[in-house]
Amino acid sequence: MPKIKPSQGAPFARILGVGGYRPTRVVPNEVILETIDSSDEWIRSRSGIATRHWASPEETVCAMSVEAAGKAIADAGITPAQIGGVIVSTVSHFRQTPAVATEIADKIGANKPAAFDISAGCAGFGYGLTLAKGMVVEGSAEYVLVIGVERLSDLTDLEDRATAFLFGDGAGAVVVGPAKEPMIGPTVWGSEGDKSETIKQTVPWDDYRNGTVEKFPAITQEGQAVFRWAVFEMAKVAQQALDAAGITSDDLDVFIPHQANMRIIDSMVKTLKLPEHVTVARDVETTGNTSAASIPLAMERLLATGQAKSGDTALVIGFGAGLVYAATVVTLP
């Protein structure tokens, strides 16, 4: 049997650049209150959300991704032609095939890269980051673009008091490339399919197509069950990621959890006993829950505002529908 030549990639990988795009329309809680019986105070106390962004018809999944990708590529200091892979995580691109990643790759001017979509809900950015790291180290691509993008306003039931105020739209992107030392730690990821009913689409697409139901499918969740799982189980996963990277919370500079809910974020900080010097991303207040886009959007904002800086050590963790999760430690670009 002939010997297969081993892959020749980089020894390690890192995030080289980050970019984000938030739709121009800012939606305050007052708009949400037009369709549900609640109050601004209740929404803020339960979620920490004051505003969110909703996309216009022109701000498609592809268009938002192209904007975020362009910023990330420029931030990385490379050209689009150097991108060898495009990974897009989304649950709100309504065309099943072809993958929107292929359209994005063409529009940014990449040169025939590998391009595909993944569906991993709010953990999608972590999944994409791990796949990109593998591609760079394995040698199948020198630079990989990872995009988390959502138009969750299209999947929001504005009459559902439990979820109408949660979701927003946007795109976040990073470029992953070669490094001479470890700058993306081991990923702790997994799924708990026995809890898949906790966060889900209300009905399958074919039920709507066949007229079995008249209401367009939306995302729904069991709020208390999600809260308990996120706070207690995901804090354990976050600690496992720190352990896998060989560091402690004292070594952290930044904590960037999925921007699901301010109460979840604050409870995780308390459970993890993070030191006061650790900067915590709380982008959810003005961006809402953007699922796969939330971590790169929060990362971009922290760096843009100076709350975090290049070279900082950050713990990132995403968790959501599935139930799926992914956590890792990274060096910020």
Catalytic residues: 122, 258, 289
Check the CA dihedral 107-110-115-117 and report its sign. Answer: negative
Phi then psi for residue 67, to 5 deg, are -65, -50
Contact 294, 172 (CB under 8 A): yes
Whole-angstrom CA distances from 250 to 18, 180, 275, 314 are 25, 24, 6, 11
Place of tokens 């969750």: 152
Q: At what angle do helices 124-138 and 294-305 cross, to 10 degrees?
A: 80
Nearest to 275 by CA among 256, 248, 257: 248
The CA R_g of the chain, rounded to the nearest whole Å, is 19
